[in-house]
Structure 1
Amino acid sequence: MNWPYSVPEEKKIRLIVNTDAKNEADDQYAIVHALLTPRFRISGMIAANFGERSATSMEDSYEEIGKVLRIMGMESDVQVFKGAPSALLDDKTPIPSAGSELIIREALREDSLPLYVIFLGPLTDLASAYLQEPRIAERLTAVWIGGGTYPEGGEEFNLGNDIAAANVVLRSPIPLWQVPKNVYSMVRVSLAELAVRVRPYGEIGKYLFDQLAEFNMAWGSKPRWPKGEMWSLGDSPAVSLLLDDHMFEYDFLEAPLIGPDQRYVPQPGARKIRVYRYVDSRFTLEDLYAKLQLFAIYNRRIP
């Protein structure tokens, strides 16, 4: 891609994106944001399942990732891998997949750039990769959009789609940055804002807006969500935190375990994970908007 600035090679990172892309309408924004970020050397994208909402959820996610790449003209630039088709049966048995194998392969590969894996859905594929090959634990950092509000926890979609996988990862020594639901929900936008800041910028901008507006109408009869004229781009912090890690906006907490009711079960003396209490929505959204515009302008993608 043409770009008006460069990123020093020493500042770049390797990135794997794990996404339940067809779950609803915000994963697509995070996928595009990652693809348009010069700091990232994307090693692949993994399609994740999203529970009982669809019997073919992982396959649906796989198709959606491919669609986004085709619209952007980047289908030959990034490989897409299939993750586990369902949640783990327990916290001891992995579900091997092309996605878990990608995580293992990239983690064990010698490279001067650090590896990060962002999870926009459940932690199934990370847990599977770790159960298959524990050596990956010291060779990657995981960023997870998921989990309830601390300290109690409680129902949250991504966590609820694989509690066993979350417990595998929380028990492991894998460095983990967690963005719980009270924090990722800070990235609020109105549909009017997206119509002005996203839709005019190329075919991908139009697709991002239109698919969200269509989902908003399709789910209009639901009593509590969506709210009608706003959205939370809750997956996008997984991208922006890798541009700036908000070093004063997180706590190191002892990793809890997760009970059947999705509440946190304290584990005194457990290893510590990074838990965010704030993300900068202005920084996150403005970076996304700017990169969409630059992509459209410099790559001649404005109709």
Structure 2
Amino acid sequence: MTLRIAERCRVVVDNDWAGDPDGLVALAHHLLSRANRVVAVTGSANSPVFGPPAGTAAAGARLAQELVDLVDGPHRPLVAAGCDVPVGGGDTASAAADAVVAEARRDDPLPLFLVCAGPLTNVAQALRQAPDVAARLTLVWVAVKGDPDAPEYNRDTDPQAAAEVLGRAELAVRQFPLETYRRCAASVAELEHDLGGAGRVGAWLWQRFTSLPLPDFVELGEVWPLGDSPPVLVTALDDASSTWTGPATRRVCTDVDGRLLVADLLARLRLHERRTAG
């Protein structure tokens, strides 16, 4: 017996799935949440700072599909790969951009959130193809800093795409800047013990951390950021316990409720294991 949870929204989740595994952790959280219906999962390429990006969008889509299959929820979202080049670097047409446009144009009473915790390449291409869909969705983006001249991974992977997307005044945006998303973190010991021990999905996620080919310049410490998880507060949980600033159409989160996020994720993983084991 469980409480009946009403669906709040549709979600398209976009990320560079072949990169930092925190994106896959966030995807699992979205997939396991009953209040948001994940309708599509789209993948972008890794930043070239981690090596040649060619093939990484497709590789990430394969990982996302593996996770979707493992969760095996009541709604099976479409998984589509994006392109391997930034806006201005070549042809950015892709199945990922097509999926965003198709879902935005679909008539549905539930509002649509486009959650992006990577570069905005696929989003920019979708809005180039169909400018009208900017008014039919809300972008939830994990990126940018208070200091616009300081480096930030997601924006800097495709700065032209970021400028194009954020330059569309009709597009509603919920933003988690670097200063905010860095507050959502877990120790490596917590990830191994709590995430890795939370059933088959948790073990699969932990394996993505241990098998990640870290570049030589990355020195791993005892803490791993889970910066891609905060958008779950907007789509599935409740952002009232976080702090926001800015106008209604361009809200920026300044303080995120990390306890709610991590505790809810681990509980969902354990409940999912209990319900599907046997």
Q: TM-score, with normalisation over the residues of structure 2? A: 0.90
- What SS does the corresponding residue of 1:160 show, helix, strand or coil? helix
Shift of 1:290: 0.7
1:141-165: CA deviation from partner (whole Å, max 9, x where unpaired): 0101111x21444111111111011
Change in Cα spacing, 1:194 to 1:132, as seen in structure 2 (3 Å) is same
Of 91, 96, 101, 2:93 maps to 96
1:11-36: CA deviation from partner (whole Å, max 9, x where unpaired): x2111111111112211100100100
Shift of 1:79: 1.6
Mean Cα deviation higher: 291-300 or 204-213: 204-213
Counterpart residue number, 1:190? 187
Identify unmatched segments of 5+ residues in structure 1: 254-270
Change in Cα spacing, 1:276 to 1:195, as seen in structure 2 (3 Å) is same
**CA distance, structure 2, for counterparts of residue 16 and residue 273 of structure 1:** 19
- What SS does the corresponding residue of 2:246 show, helix, strand or coil? strand
**CA distance, structure 2, for counterparts of residue 110 and residue 211 of structure 1:** 36
Change in Cα spacing, 1:18 to 1:191, as seen in structure 2 (3 Å) is same
Higher Cα Rg, which structure: 1
Of 93, 96, 102, 1:105 maps to 102
Counterpart residue number, 1:62? 61
> Is 1:236–2:236 an aligned residue pair?
no
1:85-107: CA deviation from partner (whole Å, max 9, x where unpaired): 211007xx972221111111111
Change in Cα spacing, 1:182 to 1:119, as seen in structure 2 (3 Å) is same
Query: Conserved in 1, the CA contact under 8 Å of 2:31 and 2:71?
Result: no
Of 134, 139, 149, 2:136 maps to 139
Change in Cα spacing, 1:75 to 1:290, as seen in structure 2 (3 Å) is closer
1:200-231: CA deviation from partner (whole Å, max 9, x where unpaired): 2222111211221343xx538535x432x220
> Is 1:18–2:11 an aligned residue pair?
no
**CA distance, structure 2, for counterparts of residue 248 and residue 32 of structure 1:** 21
Counterpart residue number, 1:72? 71
Query: Conserved in 2, the CA contact under 8 Å of 1:104 and 1:136?
Result: yes
> Is 1:85–2:80 an aligned residue pair?
no
**CA distance, structure 1, for counterparts of residue 107 and residue 63 of structure 2:** 31
Shift of 1:5: 2.6
Task: Compute the RMSD of aligned alpha carbons.
Answer: 2.3
**CA distance, structure 2, for counterparts of residue 219 and residue 109 of structure 1:** 40
Of 33, 39, 42, 1:37 maps to 33
- What SS does the corresponding residue of 1:50 show, helix, strand or coil? coil
Give identity over the alignment, percent: 27
Of 198, 215, 219, 2:214 maps to 219
Of 1, 4, 8, 2:6 maps to 8
Of 109, 114, 134, 2:111 maps to 114
Shift of 1:282: 0.2
Query: Conserved in 2, the CA contact under 8 Å of 1:184 and 1:235?
Result: yes
**CA distance, structure 2, for counterparts of residue 222 and residue 19 of structure 1:** 23
1:48-101: CA deviation from partner (whole Å, max 9, x where unpaired): 1123133222112111112222333459822201212211007xx972221111
Identify unmatched segments of 5+ residues in structure 2: none
- What SS does the corresponding residue of 1:34 show, helix, strand or coil? helix
Query: Conserved in 2, the CA contact under 8 Å of 1:220 and 1:226?
Result: no
Counterpart residue number, 1:267? none
Query: Conserved in 2, the CA contact under 8 Å of 1:18 and 1:118?
Result: yes
> Aligned residue pairs: how many?
273
Query: Conserved in 2, the CA contact under 8 Å of 1:246 and 1:279?
Result: no
